[in-house]
Structure 1
Amino acid sequence: MEISFIGAGNLAWHLAPALENAGHHINEVYSRQLQHSRQLISNLYDAQTHSDLNFADSPSQLFILAVPDDALETVCSRLVLPEKAILVHTSGNQSLSVLENWMTIYSDIPVQTGVFYGLQTFTKGQPFMDFRGVPLCIEATDKETEDVLVRLGQELSDIVYIITSAERRALHVAAVFACNFTNHLLAIAHDLTTTNGLEFDLLQPIIRETIRKGLAVENPATVQTGPARRGDLTTIESHLSWLAMHPQLAEIYQLMTQSIKQQYS
């Protein structure tokens, strides 16, 4: 399949090479920052940078929107696609109907729309992701487009689901808790150790064991430990006293503690 990317950030960095490795051809990469598109095409076979959002003469059949959610409408309002193009966004949060409505408003020709959402954390500059274990969530406005996207997904991953926009949003919220918030808590733990003359490495064994146990059971709630789970008020008050000099962290500690206590009350 002939494919073009609109956006050259974290996701595109991994997805574009994966598609090429699966036998597809990346024609063009557009980015507001030319240097970003140049960096991406340096990892591709013979893709070219595209200077604007007019793709009317493009040979591509599939156009992948790999841009932040708050840029989607602006991009769609300026996007010109060839006839019979398929346009997909890669957002976990934006509905398919929003994309469909934008193209109805802004495009002079009919455009088939869909969603091609990879449930993974992607970081530009990291080694290329093996998509075989990445869940791909597919949605489309019609069965023909859905079939195209499912086949494409199955060429990349062993985990392909057809899910609705509402289901995808719930999944995305859950992923923020599981991934982004977890990483932020690790960053807080890093700061707390290093600013007190301790090595963050001391926490790595307990971090690994926590993740191992949580993934080994059907419900991670069954392996919850700690003072909130035990109802150890003395320890909780001691921790909050120590955190008095960090009011924002104390608030996070209290919210997390209350959430755990409510779950087991």
Structure 2
Amino acid sequence: MEISFIGAGNLAWHLAPALENAGHHINEVYSRQLQHARQLVSNLYDAHTHSDLNFADSPSELFVLAVPDDALETVCSRLVLPENALVVHTSGSMPLDSLSQWLSIYSDVPVRAGVLYALQTFSRGITFMPFDEIPLCLEAADTATEETLVQLGQQLSDVVYVLTSDERRVLHMSAVFACNFTNHLLAVAHDLTTTQGLEFDLLRPLITETVRKALAADNPADVQTGPARRGDLGTIESHLQLLTDQPRLSEIYQVMTTSIRRRYEP
């Protein structure tokens, strides 16, 4: 399949090479940050940067909108596409209906709409991530487009699901708890240790075992430990005293503690 990317951020950095490795051809990469487009193109076989959003003469069949959610409508309003192109967004939370509506309003030619959401955390500039085990969540506005996306998804990953927009939104919210919030808490732990001259590495075995147990359990709640789980009010109060001069962290500690305690109330 002939493919163009609009956006050259974290996801595109990994998805574009994965599509090429699956036998597809990336024609063009557009990005508001030209340097990002150039960096991505340099890692592809035969792609080139595209200077604007006019793709009317593009040979591509698939256009991947790998841009932030709040930029999608603006991009659609400026996007010029070849007739019958397939346009997919890569958002976990944006409904397919929104993309379909924007394309129907702004496109002068008939196009198809879909979703290709990869459930993973991505970062630019690091080793390309294999897609074999990354869940791909797909959605399409019609059966033919769905079949095309399923076939494409199965060429990339062994884990392919067709989900509704509502299901995908819940999954994305769950991913924020599991990934983004967890990483933020690890960053907080890093700050707390290093500001006191302690090695963050002291926590690494604990973090590794926590994740291992949680993933091995039928429900991570079954392996919860710590002072909130035990109802150890003295330790909790001691920790809060340590955070007296850090009200933001104190608030996080209290919210998490209350949530854990309420879950295990008899």
- TM above 0.5, yes or no, is yes
The one-letter amino acid paired with 2:85 is A
| 1-structure distance, mates of 2:171, 2:133 | 17
The one-letter amino acid paired with 1:238 is S
| 1-structure distance, mates of 2:36, 2:210 | 37
Shift of residue 245 of structure 1?
Answer: 1.0
| 2-structure distance, mates of 1:6, 1:27 | 11
Any idea what SS the aligned residue of 2:132 has? helix
Q: For each residue in 1:224-251, what CA deviation from the matched residue of structure 2 results, as whole angstroms up to 9, or x when unmatched? A: 0000000010100010011101100000
Partner of 1:213: 213
Partner of 1:19: 19
Partner of 1:107: 107
Any idea what SS the aligned residue of 1:261 has? helix
Q: For each residue in 1:169-217, what CA deviation from the matched residue of structure 2 results, as whole angstroms up to 9, or x when unmatched? A: 0000000000000000000000000000100000000000000000001
Q: Detail structure 1 runs of 4+ shifted over 3 Å in the superposition.
A: none
Partner of 1:117: 117
| 1-structure distance, mates of 2:252, 2:145 | 44
Shift of residue 33 of structure 1?
Answer: 1.1
Q: For each residue in 1:85-113, what CA deviation from the matched residue of structure 2 results, as whole angstroms up to 9, or x when unmatched? A: 00000000100000000011111111100
Residue 140 (1) aligns with residue 151 (2): no
| Identical columns (%) | 74
Gaps spanning 5+ residues in structure 2: where?
none
Shift of residue 84 of structure 1?
Answer: 1.1
- What is the total number of aligned residue pairs between the two structures? 265
The one-letter amino acid paired with 2:64 is I
| 2-structure distance, mates of 1:262, 1:125 | 42
TM alignment of 1:205-244, pairs within 5 A = 205-244=205-244
The one-letter amino acid paired with 1:203 is L
Residue 75 (1) aligns with residue 75 (2): yes
Residue 92 (1) aligns with residue 92 (2): yes
Residue 185 (1) aligns with residue 168 (2): no
| 1-structure distance, mates of 2:223, 2:111 | 49
Q: For each residue in 1:110-148, what CA deviation from the matched residue of structure 2 results, as whole angstroms up to 9, or x when unmatched? A: 110000000000000111011001000000000000000
Gaps spanning 5+ residues in structure 1: where?
none
The one-letter amino acid paired with 1:242 is L
| 1-structure distance, mates of 2:126, 2:261 | 38
> What is the aligned-residue RMSD (CA, Å)?
0.4
The one-letter amino acid paired with 1:253 is Y
Any idea what SS the aligned residue of 1:77 has? helix
The one-letter amino acid paired with 1:105 is I
| 2-structure distance, mates of 1:243, 1:231 | 19
Q: For each residue in 1:51-87, what CA deviation from the matched residue of structure 2 results, as whole angstroms up to 9, or x when unmatched? A: 0000000000000000000110000000000011000
Any idea what SS the aligned residue of 1:63 has? strand
Residue 38 (1) aligns with residue 38 (2): yes
Output the TM-score relative to the length of structure 2: 0.99
| 2-structure distance, mates of 1:138, 1:211 | 28
